[in-house]
Amino acid sequence: MKLIIKKNIALENPETRNFLADSFHVDNTEKQPLVIFVHGYKGYKDWGAWDLMAEKFAEAGFFFVKFNFSHNGTTVDDPHHFADLEAFGNNNYTKELSDLGVVIDHFIRDPRVDQDKIVLIGHSRGGGISIVKTFEDERINGLITLASVDTLDRFPTGELLESWKKEGVYYALNGRTQQEMPHYYQFYEDYENNIHRFDVERATEMAKAYMLIIHGTKDEAVDVKHAEHLHILNPNSELFLIEDGNHTFGAKEPWSDSHLPDDLNRVAEKCIEFLDKNLK
């Protein structure tokens, strides 16, 4: 079966700005479940081994989409680098949820997509965004979190918060690129103004979709306790732990191997098995 890959599809969001998406699917006449991958903080659609993961899902019979949030720091002209730090600093959860809605609305219209089978796969902070979106959008009936946070309240506190408010910006070092990434205070204000909407715990409890929670036991960025907590909040979910797995399940940027790292391959196979059982 021929694999069809479309890179850098331009999407328009009048609430934010234009951004890019990729689609992966096999060339057949059957309608396929739509699987949308949601990247996390300092993430982007072309990072590491995400392309290889997308191909594996497509070959298993899914219409797989990954995209860049409009304000993740990449641009439509340079999707592989954080070329627009001003946009990065002006990102917030409202914009990310709006972008995700645009992605769903765009690809659900594709004639090869089964509109009754829509799945979100969220990595890290993208997991929290995916949980909230799944609660808000009843079209979504499958939810998979990879190394997900259990709260979107991941901001400085105390004197650091007061300093952020006073200065209007704080910077976080990107260890890979050595860029000082700005975070403008509007990010925190957006959270405070929509604190009930962004309640990941409540959304996890209320979400009606089939839910799979995957986490590495040695995640250095988001402790495995976050996964265990999500599973407690939604006891109908399935919890799958990768023993000794890290935050990106063995992948890194750049990824030059032609095969998925072992842990990420296990993750993909578990996701496909879960979706085959519950959605196909």
Domain definitions of the chain by residue range: 3-153+198-278
Joined tokens for residue 75: 């641009």
Average pLDDT score over residue span 176-192: 98
Q: pTM, whole model, 2 decimals? A: 0.98
Would the pLDDT of 176 be above 80?
yes
Instruction: Give per-residue pLDDT as tens, 46-66.
Output: 999 999 999 999 999 999 999
Joined tokens for residue 203: 């959304």
User: Strand runs (DSSP E) across the chain, as ranges?
Assistant: 3-11, 19-26, 32-38, 63-67, 113-123, 142-146, 169-173, 180-184, 210-216, 238-242
Instruction: Give per-residue pLDDT as tens, 208-237.
Output: 999 999 999 999 999 999 999 999 999 999
Mean predicted lDDT score pLDDT of the chain: 98
Model pLDDT, residue 169: 98
Query: Which CATH number applies to 3-153+198-278?
Result: 3.40.50.1820
Angle of CA points 33, 254, 133, to nearest 5°: 35
Predicted confidence band of residue 280 (pLDDT cuts 50, 70, 90)? confident
What string of H, E and C letters represents the secondary structure of 117-132? EEEEEEECHHHHHHHH
